[in-house]
Structure 1
């Protein structure tokens, strides 16, 4: 058994790994994604694409590629000539996700797309359709559905360790500076704090429960006179009701000091993840009776876990755990929250789904 675990931890030979072209060279790509590919077990960096070709070449060279592995946005379709590029990872402003997903599908490349999947339900539906029609896989980059801490929390929730779950509370807030951020531009972002940081609350609550909400209600607020929020909202608070009777209360903001938490309350105990959405140093505690236990799991690179999962799905021809449909469902929920806010907080009924994990593929590898 020990030998098998050690063998499973070894990376695949480079020639067998799935080659990715990363689209967009922002902070997330440079600080998290490119380093993650360097330690991939089934994934490797094959090309980079940017609006600045000089920066793209510098990034390519820094990670062992050649200058010829750097492409501009205008040259994107040339990736179709590369047999060693099997997939693209889209890390662009939200409004560009549909365009580059459709362009990638047309040249036969699988698509891993950062969240939110799109800026509208219509665009998300078009992305799912484009990939299905082209016979390529589409995965939404929900890294929190691949991390050991979140899986340990999910197992505690669904195993009955907390008794019958009654309430969840999740907060994701941060200060968003006004420095020409595309996230503060509605045309590029599609919204403010909700699709950026609030989405973590929506998606992770759904993941922990394995259920889909049947009703949402919400309110939106922006500080009067704050020039950051002339196009997008500052803060959103909302409630999600689930068929089992569970109620989730959530909040997100671009105007408060950083806090990223999840609390789950059951008849037999409670669970807390704090911080819940950071890249590193997550902390999970479970309380039953008077006993509080910190659940310790080995640290993992979250981005390596999600990219390697997608790579194995490509290699084995199976659906990813967080396919495009998972991102589409969150888009529908967020639009319902916005609708409720426009209508004074009136509850909005969602389509009801029976069963568990109705939008997810087979469970990801746990190594």
Structure 2
């Protein structure tokens, strides 16, 4: 590439966080996987196995048959949730990955913290900001490291986007647009009896489940937190009764930067992030889903450059970072306090959707 972009985009998939060579890892971090839904089975477990810095050793789920099947298939130790929480298999893992319904994160993270185990918890942290705060406190009180599963932050496409913004390639950022949608009941299975449709378990649906992706990725790319939010939610079909089927929200960042986001659990599959500045537009399309290749483009002075780069396994990158930072005794960037900002923002967007008024964020 012969352009000013080459300095930032050559070696696109570089791990700018890595200081330990994979070949030098003799004892990878042993991970207990809590929750064996489709994502854990199809993406997390393969990602853990692909990473040189981690290995899965223990699995658990409330579905005993799923535990037995996965344990036998992958030669892992299967335990009940009670045994996991009681520490019956604690000698077999160094860290715990929690991928259960949102409202059950706290109990498993607290148990892992009591056992002195590092934690990787899926996002959103919990079903409410208050429970999320208790989760973070449990790890802080026990002195155990907590990382939150924002896989976009370790994806090279998002990291290179941030590099270009930091380098001023886009000029002054003016606004951001993002969208993420899927036909949830088709893509995640046709069974309507799932936890995302239960507000007590999920805390919400479209906004909590997928709205967090644009929210957090924009925060990461801009290196800033929103100071004011507003939003609207709507539900049209009986299957989504009690939760939000669609959501639109606006994030106001310092410096007058506005981000407008739309998410839906019942629309054609799409994911896109576009940052517009005074000098250029930076585009990720597709952007957020782990099961599709990311696209990266820069539009500047009327010329669009689509970057051809080797795709990575998003979840391998996430677990490689998690294991690497533990082995290197280095902190995580997407930690509990970082994730709490998302929880307060999501809660404020729901409040705005209810009242029709924007909500100021006070940095709780």
Deviation of residue 309 (structure 1)?
1.4
Aligned to 2:269: 258
Aligned to 1:326: 338
TM-score computed with the length of structure 1 as normaliser: 0.89
Aligned to 1:129: 137
Within a 5 Å distance, the mapping from 1:345-360 to structure 2 comes to 346-351=357-362
Kept in 1: contact 2:273–2:284 (CA 8 A): yes
Aligned to 1:238: 249
1:294 aligns with 2:302: no
Give the Cα–Cα distance (whole angstroms) in 2 for the partners of residues 321 and 229 of structure 1.
34
Deviation string 1:129-187 (CA, Å, 9 cap, x unpaired) is 10011111111100000001111111122211111110100011111226212111111
Kept in 2: contact 1:240–1:247 (CA 8 A): yes
Aligned to 1:198: 211
Q: Secondary structure at the match of 2:163?
A: helix
Kept in 2: contact 1:201–1:250 (CA 8 A): yes
1:114 aligns with 2:122: yes
Give the Cα–Cα distance (whole angstroms) in 2 for the partners of residues 215 and 51 of structure 1.
39
1:306 aligns with 2:318: yes
Deviation string 1:222-249 (CA, Å, 9 cap, x unpaired) is 11xx211211011111111111211101
Give the alignment partner of residue 174 of structure 2, picking from 145, 149, 166: 166
Give the Cα–Cα distance (whole angstroms) in 2 for the partners of residues 202 and 266 of structure 1.
18
Deviation of residue 317 (structure 1)?
2.9
Aligned to 2:47: 36
Give the Cα–Cα distance (whole angstroms) in 1 for the partners of residues 246 and 23 of structure 2.
43
Deviation string 1:300-355 (CA, Å, 9 cap, x unpaired) is 221121112122222233321110112111000001111111111x11111269xx
Q: Secondary structure at the match of 1:212?
A: coil
1:98 aligns with 2:106: yes
Distance of aligned partners of 1:327 and 1:352 in 2 relative to their CA distance in 1, 3 Å threshold = closer
Aligned to 1:274: 285
Q: Secondary structure at the match of 1:327?
A: helix
Q: Secondary structure at the match of 1:194?
A: helix
Q: Secondary structure at the match of 1:83?
A: helix
Q: Secondary structure at the match of 2:75?
A: coil
Q: Secondary structure at the match of 1:207?
A: helix
Q: Show structure 1 runs of 5+ residues with no match.
A: 354-367
Give the alignment partner of residue 207 of structure 1, picking from 220, 225, 231: 220
Give the Cα–Cα distance (whole angstroms) in 1 for the partners of residues 59 and 208 of structure 2.
26
Q: Show structure 2 runs of 5+ residues with no match.
A: 1-14
Kept in 1: contact 2:83–2:89 (CA 8 A): no
Comparing 302-311 and 323-332, the one that deviates more? 302-311
Aligned to 1:365: none
Q: Secondary structure at the match of 2:91?
A: coil
Give the Cα–Cα distance (whole angstroms) in 2 for the partners of residues 86 and 159 of structure 1.
38
Kept in 2: contact 1:80–1:108 (CA 8 A): no
Give the Cα–Cα distance (whole angstroms) in 2 for the partners of residues 109 and 102 of structure 1.
10
**Count, aligned residues:** 343
Deviation of residue 61 (structure 1)?
2.6
Q: Secondary structure at the match of 1:238?
A: strand
Deviation of residue 54 (structure 1)?
3.5
Kept in 2: contact 1:9–1:41 (CA 8 A): no
Aligned to 1:181: 194
CA RMSD of aligned residues (A): 2.0
Give the Cα–Cα distance (whole angstroms) in 2 for the partners of residues 261 and 251 of structure 1.
10
Give the Cα–Cα distance (whole angstroms) in 2 for the partners of residues 48 and 40 of structure 1.
17
